Every structure is written in C-alpha cells, then in structure tokens.
Chains A and B, each alone.
Chain A
Amino acid sequence: MACGPSDEFTGRWESAENGQASGSVLNGYLEIVVGQYGNDASGVLRVYDDPFLKFPSAQCPCMYLVDGKIRGTTVTFVLNFEHCTAMVADHTHEGEKTSYVLSLDSLSDFSAAGRILDANANELQIFDLDRIEYEDELIDEVERTCVMGSQQGNP
C-alpha cells in the first residue's frame, strides 16, 4: 500500500503494458492523472490511438474525471463526456445524456483495475493500469487540463 490514504491514487496511471483498452466505450491507450485529497479526488483521462506516439484519439482525446469519491481501495469518478462529441453521440440514448462512471480498484501501489459502468451499474469495459508517477507535484498544469492541440475539451 501507499504511504498514506491520500497517496493511494495520486499520480499518473497508464494502460498496462501491451494492454490497450477495448470495449464499448473507450478504444485506445489510456492515461489517467489523479489528484487525491483525503477521500475526494479529481482527474483527467486521456485516450491515445497508440502508446508510443501518443496521438490523441480522434473520438475523444480527453475528458475530466469529477466527483471522485474513495471508499476503501476503490475510487469512482463521474466521466464527463460533454465535449467528446463523437462519443456523446454514441452514448446518448434517445437524445438524453447518459452518465458513466469510472471505477479504479487499487491492486497495489503500482497497479489498478479500471472499469467503466453505466448508470445501471452495468460493466461496459475493463482494463488494467500501471502507476507511472506517485506525487501530485509531478503532474504539471498542462496535464490537468483537457487541451489537446486543436481539440479542446473544456466543459
């Protein structure tokens, strides 16, 4: 386990080696930066087409992770798709916005299992993550925003 409860999720997480996320929601290589504050958390999720050149996904380069709540070894975020237009179309049901939840289960200091759930708690996608950075200070300002070239994911 990490040094303290506040450090359990803080840092940068990336898709596990050779493990690209695939499923009905996110397709590509994932990178998540998380700031944990006691039992609260926030973060940003980015999707790349490949893990080496890190070209942002055309469908949705990044999105904000908000309302993060920590219960034991699990943190759940609300995924904000609002500016991922392509995905919004995919995940809008009869014109109504659908909410999705990202859940991370800490397996150790350096690995976690991620899941994306829909509003009815149906598991839509599962993926593994490795922790790359452990400290809040190592996440710079740019990484905390959804500005990816010409595509800006401001809410």
Chain B
Amino acid sequence: MIKRRTQYFLALLLVLMTSGPTLAAEAGHVIAKRVTVLPVRVLPRSDRPLFVTESAPGQNIERPDTTPLEQELAKQPELDVVPWSQVLATLRNSVNVAETDALTRSSIELGIDEYKSLKLDKAQKSLLRAQELMHSVLLGIRDPDLASKLYLHLGLVYLEQGDQDQARIALGTMFFYNPGRTFPAGYYSPAVETALTSAYSDFLRLAPLDRPVVDGKTLKSFANNAGISQLFTVVVRQDHPSQVQVHVFDLKRMVPVHNVQLRATSKGLPHPDPFERFISRYVACEIFERFPANPWDRRFRRASLELNGGYHTYGRFPTRSILHNTSIALFVGRGLSPHVAIYGGLNLLTSVEDQNKDLSDRLVSMRFMGGIEFRTRVQRFTFFFSPGAETNIMSGFQVLTSPECKFFGIDHPLCEQSSNVRDSGLQLLMGINASAGMRYHMTNSIYLGVRGIAGMYLVPLSGKKVDYPLGGWTAVGFEF
C-alpha cells in the first residue's frame, strides 16, 4: 500500500516537474575600450610636383605630434589609450619578426636588382614573395618606407610588363605608405611619370586613410595581434589646411564607425574644443549607446531556465543514519538589473536506502522555491548568492527500528509496533533557505553551474521530523 502511494506521488511530481521552468541572467560591465591614435596622415597638395630635381625617395613630411589627442582621449574613463609606439612594440613581440624581416628586405633588394637587370618575371616573383613576407609579420605597418619602396618597384615591374591596372594599384599603395614621396625629375620614362601622377591622384581620392594597411587580410592580422579595439586617425589635407578629418575604425567589426571634419589648429591637429565635443559624442554613442544594444550586455534582462541535479540531505532526519537523497530541480528566473534577479522553481527529492534501512520506503519531497538572486559577473563566470523561501511537501513515511519488523513485516508478532514503528503522514514544511554558487557561460545562451543550498523550516514550529535541508547541485542553464 505504501509503495503504491509513493508511486502515485512520484508520478504526480514528475508531471509537475516537466511542466514547470532559475535564473541566471548576468551583469553587464563596461570594460575600457583599448584605442590608439595612428600617426597623423599628412596628404600633400594635389598639385604638388611629384618629380623634383633634388629629392630623395622616401622623403617624409613633418607630422604633427599626436600626444595632445591621446591626452584628450585618456580623460575618458571608458577608454584605455595605448600609444602607437606601444602597439608597434606589441606587434614586434607578437609575431616572429626577426628572420622574416630580414627575408623581406632581402627579397625586396633581390627584386629591385632583377628589375634593374630587366629580369621582369623574376623581379615580379621576388617582389610578390617580399610582399607576402612583409604582410605576414606586419612589417609594412612597422616600416612604411620599406613598404613604399616595395610597391614602387612592383608597380614599375607591372608597367614594364604592360599590366596597367596592377601597376596603378601597386603605385597607389606606394603612396598609401608614403604620401609625400617625390621622384627625381627625368629619371623615369614619360609613361612611368604618367602612371605615377595618375596613381597619386587616385590615392588622394580613394585611399582608405582610416587604417594602417590596405590589404584586408593583413588588417585582420593586425587586429588580432595589436590588442586594440578601435583606431583613431587624423588626416591633414594640405589642400584644405583649415580642417582635419578624424576617422575611427573598429577593428573588432572591421568597419569604419566615425568620419568627421573638424576645425584644425595651426599645428595640423583638430582644435581642442570641437575635438572634445566629438569625443563626448563618440563615448556617448560608441560606448554607452552600444552597451545596452549589445546582446551580450543585455543578458541581465533575459529569462533563464536551469536544470539542476545533485545530492541532498537534511540536518535533521528520521532515520538513525544520515538520509541521502537524489535531487533534480527546475528553476526559472529573470534579471531585474545587472546584479539582481528573481527566481522560482520546483525541486524533487527522493531518498536512497539508508544504512540501516530504517525507512520502509522512499521518502519523496517536493519543494517549491523562490527568492532573490544577487550576482556579479567576472568574464565568463557569474557568482551568485540567493536568499529565498520554500515550501516542502513530503510524502508520508514509515520508520522501522527493529530488524524483526524490517524482515518479517510490521504485522508479524515478532515486531513490536508500539516501540519499533513510527508512522508519519504527509508533511507540509515552510521555511527559508540560501544558496550560493557560480556559473560558467559556455556560449551566449548556455551555461554550466554549481550551487550549494542550505535552509531551515520555520513552520510547523515543533514536531518536525525533517529539517535543515542541505544540498549540492550541478546545473545546465539556458538563457533566452
């Protein structure tokens, strides 16, 4: 009879458990965005002479110092400003450069020699090899003059081969790395001079000036190795010296996010006032507005469904030896703020055989639980503490203390029922509990967790045969 009653009870609980849904939303945090300011790009006048009588290849235009811009950016607590020199140092350390740098330089020199010897195919091969090596270690970013030299000769080789399109691209890229480059007048043929002039014109109109390298693959490699989220680039066009362009490029999303024209100072930098206003807008839009728009950061508002399983026992139990239980629980929850959530759920416990087999049958408990969760998130982990309340409905149980009652049955004359059999009907217990634990977020919506839970029953005030629930659970949760 007892077994049948318990079976009905278990079946009822299982139905309730499977039809019911903890909370695991987490807190979002604004982590300082790492930004850097590229050296100012100064674009000479469009009508400047490219071919001069006394010039040296690789001649540099004087660039304004970007320190004032970095200082202005560093005032924003949401930004972590990394000096460009430090980014370059990071690149040198993050890629194995020593040998490859040397190989690149050697290939460039070889290609130039082969070009001068009119071994065009070999020159092309050497220069393309040098290009590949250079990009593999981001040498073009670290040494723009070298990159400029490579692309000049690559362009010249293409011209000699009659490939005007490739030549135009290569020569344009040369100007990307060294916009102020000039050439000795009369040194190149008229066809080469025409190609260089045309490439310079293309460069001024079309070059992507908001990034340190043109090639997309190399830019991605830079993004992976530099440890920077966004790039600031100031472009000074000497055709319009009263204004400067400020570009912001997002290396995570690989897209330009801002491009503004600001009043310039005499030194060729953005005027402090408009630049400060721009930075305010930038922080407001790019940091705070994006914060709630980012699904990861909005997670605290999401609901969650958590399935728990594990071990449970009670500090007070009706048997002579400790009463072990298996436990499964289903919780639903919803975040109220990054650090607070509410949760509720259902927990089903079934006892396992105690050492003395005092319980004549399994003790089944159904706990309705709910409460508040306080939590904090550290990277992929959420740590939480949850005070709550619970109602525990326990099946009736029978405790036998005599081996004769256990072996022969309670109706047997050898079983003295009065002293050896204790019956307890259905029990309703109400009390408080607290749990603490952590979760590891495997993906945006799935996490694994562990939880320890303890409590005590306040109702009824006396006569409780079971009290002080205590458990340790593992969980898998889904957020949606």
Partner-B contacts on A (CB < 8 A): 5-6, 35-43, 64, 66, 68, 136, 141, 144-145, 154-155
**A35–B403 CB distance below 8 A:** yes
- Which B residues are CB-close (under 8 A) to A68? 403
Whether A37 contacts B403 by the Cβ 8 Å rule is: yes
Q: Are A144 and B409 in contact (CB under 8 A)?
A: yes
B355 sits at the interface (CB 8 A): yes
The answer for the CA separation of A74 and B407 in the assembled complex, in Å, is: 19
CB-based A-B contact count at 8 angstroms: 47
B406 near A35 (CB under 8 angstroms)? yes
Q: Is the CB of A145 within 8 A of B408?
A: yes
Q: Give Cα A141–Cα B408 distance, bound, in whole angstroms.
A: 8
For B408, the chain A residues whose CB sits under 8 A away are 42, 64, 144-145
- A145 to chain B: which residues have CB within 8 Å? 408, 412
Sample of 10 more A-B contacts, CB < 8 Å, known A39-B356, A145-B408: A5-B355, A6-B356, A6-B357, A35-B403, A37-B406, A38-B356, A66-B404, A66-B414, A144-B407, A145-B412
The residue on B at minimum CB distance from A4 is B355
User: Can you identify 11 A-B contacts, CB atoms within 8 angstroms?
Assistant: A5-B355, A6-B357, A36-B403, A37-B356, A37-B357, A37-B358, A38-B321, A40-B403, A144-B408, A145-B408, A155-B413
Tell me whether B407 and A154 are in contact (CB under 8 A). Answer: no
When C-beta atoms are compared, the residue in chain A nearest to B356 turns out to be A38
Q: Mark B349-369, 1 if CB is under 8 A from A, else 0.
A: 000000111100000000000
Q: Which residues of A contact B125 (CB under 8 A)?
A: none
* Least Cβ–Cβ distance between A8 and chain B, in angstroms: 13
Flag if B414 contacts A155 (CB, 8 Å): yes
Query: What is the CB-to-nearest-CB distance from B159 to chain A, in angstroms, rounded to a whole number?
Result: 87
Q: Please, which residues of chain B bring their CB within 8 A of the CB of A136?
A: 357
B413 lies within 8 A of A40 (CB) = no
In the complex, chain B residues whose CB is within 8 Å of the CB of A37:
356-358, 403, 406-407
Q: Known contacts A37-B356, A37-B357, A38-B356; is A43 also within 8 Å of B407 by CB?
A: yes
* CB-defined contacts of A141 to chain B, threshold 8 Å: 409
User: Is there a chain A Cβ closer than 8 Å to B217's Cβ?
Assistant: no
How many angstroms from the CA of A40 to the CA of B320 in the assembled complex? Answer: 12
Cα–Cα distance between A145 and B403 once the two chains are bound (Å): 14
